[in-house]
Amino acid sequence: MRLKTENTFVLVNHTEILEALVGLKDVQVLAYERRGPEVTLVIEQTPGEVFCPSCGSRAHVKERPVVSYVDLPVYGSAMTLSWKKHRMCCVNRGCVTGSWVLSDHRIAAKNCLLTTRAAKWATRQVGDGRTVSEVADELSCDWHTVNDAVLTYGEALLAADRKRLSVTTAIGLDETSFVKHTGHAHPHYATTVADVQNHQIIEILPSRNYVDVASWMNAQPPSWKERIDYGALDMSPAYAAVYSVTLPKASQVVDPFHVVSLANRALDAVRRRVQRDQLGHRGRRDDPLYRVRRVLLMGEEKLDDKATERLRSLLELGDPEGEVAISYRVKERLRDFYATRDPDEAKTMLRELLEHCVSRAMPPEIQKLGKTIETWFDKICNFHVARISNAPTEALNNLIKRIKRVGFGFRNFANYRIRVLLYAGKPNWRVLGSIVVR
């Protein structure tokens, strides 16, 4: 008979709760007590004959210490499992072995204050996006108790669930800022490795440096590396170098999101400079260029006639040399490049745009944009062949930010990593049922 692990997440009433444990044939329920909201389940496990681990002689029960564990919540409040354990002692008088306490990982792992089924339930809850504090509240126990269990079982699940990584043919590298709660306040950067086809996070690395990311990549199985056809990235030379060295056969694809936001930043820089030149101060509420700052960053197709006319007339007022207007056209042209389906047509378009950008008549900010596009030209154009982007990773990064906001207590990277991977890594939760932590 085995513990019905598949049921551990749906136990709602005491009958089921009892049955799951009674299912272990050597477990006896001694008492089930309910005082107000507090429920205590008292059990004793009676194993068969026990022998001394060092001399092999018969062992006998010396004491029955009662150890309490936090068990699953019943009727919305936590249940305590009081386990009458057996402290064994060797019958051989000459034996040097002291006494030892019998344990059973199916009921509770060593050094874990939660029962096994409660630990797995808590891991799943956190994987569904609840905070450790919420789960700790529901179980009426300490934050650390839940966090330790989630780390232990989460880590074991991710290690056992290797299948989730074996289907990837396109990955993305992306940086996220990660602020340590203790010590210095400046942000540390983490690298998210994502499967950009299946929209799941594969790994989080505590660095964005070439050596660290390349070492991780190198450590992956050759079969995994050979399967990767595309590597998405922002315009980071470090990530480009990682791909070139560790996945030389994969095509690198610059993410559209990053290219368009670079153009938006250039446009905004032009606007701010022209505004200062015209008025001698930073943007104020009534300044024409300040009033169009948001409209400029919107897609042209989203503007109705009224908005288009307003943009035109405000630019006429605030942008006499037409520098903002021409930067706006560049940004829109870049968006046209992404809207084009045919790879060759798109490439020609981008080549023309880039030559236009680097001409001396253009605002310096746009010339700089043109040079960046030139540097990354092929990898930007690869988007039209690969049709993959880091955009899903961006979405996942938003999830990460959400977890960071709600999940206080990210004192170290290990907590952060496990929680993100449980939440956005799409682990196979069925595997959790068979995870054994002794």
Contact 97, 80 (CB under 8 A): no
Contact 289, 271 (CB under 8 A): yes
Contact 366, 229 (CB under 8 A): no
- Only one of the segments 12-20, 47-55, 221-229, 244-252 lies at the binding site for Zn ion (rule: CB under 5 A); that segment is 47-55
Distance CA 175, CA 188 (A): 10
What's the min distance (Å) between Cβ of 90 and Zn ion? 3
Q: Which is nearer to Zn ion, 90 or 139 (CB)?
A: 90
- Only one of the segments 88-96, 141-149, 266-274, 281-289 lies at the binding site for Zn ion (rule: CB under 5 A); that segment is 88-96
Q: Which is nearer to Zn ion, 42 or 52 (CB)?
A: 52
Q: Which of 55, 279, 307, 386 binds Zn ion (CB under 5 A)?
A: 55
Contact 281, 349 (CB under 8 A): no
Q: Which of 18, 29, 95, 391 binds Zn ion (CB under 5 A)?
A: 95
Longest dimension (CA), the chain: 102
What's the min distance (Å) between Cβ of 51 and Zn ion? 8
Place of tokens 């943009």: 311
For residue 15, the number of C-alpha atoms closer than 13 Å in the C-beta half-sphere is 0
- Only one of the segments 24-32, 92-100, 334-342, 430-438 lies at the binding site for Zn ion (rule: CB under 5 A); that segment is 92-100
Q: Which is nearer to Zn ion, 90 or 388 (CB)?
A: 90
Q: Is 90 in the site for Zn ion (CB under 5 A)?
A: yes
Place of tokens 């936090």: 70
Distance CA 358, CA 380 (A): 17
What's the min distance (Å) between Cβ of 97 and Zn ion? 5
Contact 407, 132 (CB under 8 A): yes
Q: Which of 7, 28, 77, 92 binds Zn ion (CB under 5 A)?
A: 92
The H or E element spanning position 78 is strand 77-84
What's the min distance (Å) between Cβ of 87 and Zn ion? 14
Q: Which is nearer to Zn ion, 90 or 108 (CB)?
A: 90
Beta strands in 36-86 (DSSP E): 38-45, 59-63, 66-74, 77-84
Distance CA 13, CA 155 (A): 29
> What is the rounded end-to-end Cα distance, in angstroms, of the chain?
18
- Only one of the segments 96-104, 118-126, 236-244, 389-397 lies at the binding site for Zn ion (rule: CB under 5 A); that segment is 96-104
What's the min distance (Å) between Cβ of 67 and Zn ion? 24
Q: Which of 28, 40, 77, 97 binds Zn ion (CB under 5 A)?
A: 97
Q: Which is nearer to Zn ion, 56 or 187 (CB)?
A: 56
Distance CA 185, CA 206 (A): 16
What's the min distance (Å) between Cβ of 86 and Zn ion? 16
Q: Which of 42, 52, 269, 399 binds Zn ion (CB under 5 A)?
A: 52
Q: Which is nearer to Zn ion, 97 or 209 (CB)?
A: 97
Residues in the interface with Zn ion (CB under 5 A) total: 7
Q: Which is nearer to Zn ion, 91 or 159 (CB)?
A: 91
By CB under 5 A, the residues from 178 to 217 that bind Zn ion are: none
What's the min distance (Å) between Cβ of 146 and Zn ion? 38
What's the min distance (Å) between Cβ of 110 and Zn ion? 21
Q: Name residue 398's amino acid.
A: N
* 9 contact partners, CB below 8 Å, separation of at least 6: 120, 121, 124
By CB under 5 A, the residues from 57 to 86 that bind Zn ion are: 57
Distance CA 276, CA 302 (A): 28
What's the min distance (Å) between Cβ of 185 and Zn ion? 57
Q: Is 118 exposed, middle or buried (0-12, 13-18, 19+ CB in 10 A)?
A: buried
The DSSP secondary-structure symbol of 11 reads -
The contact set with Zn ion (CB under 5 A) reads 52, 55, 57, 90, 92, 95, 97
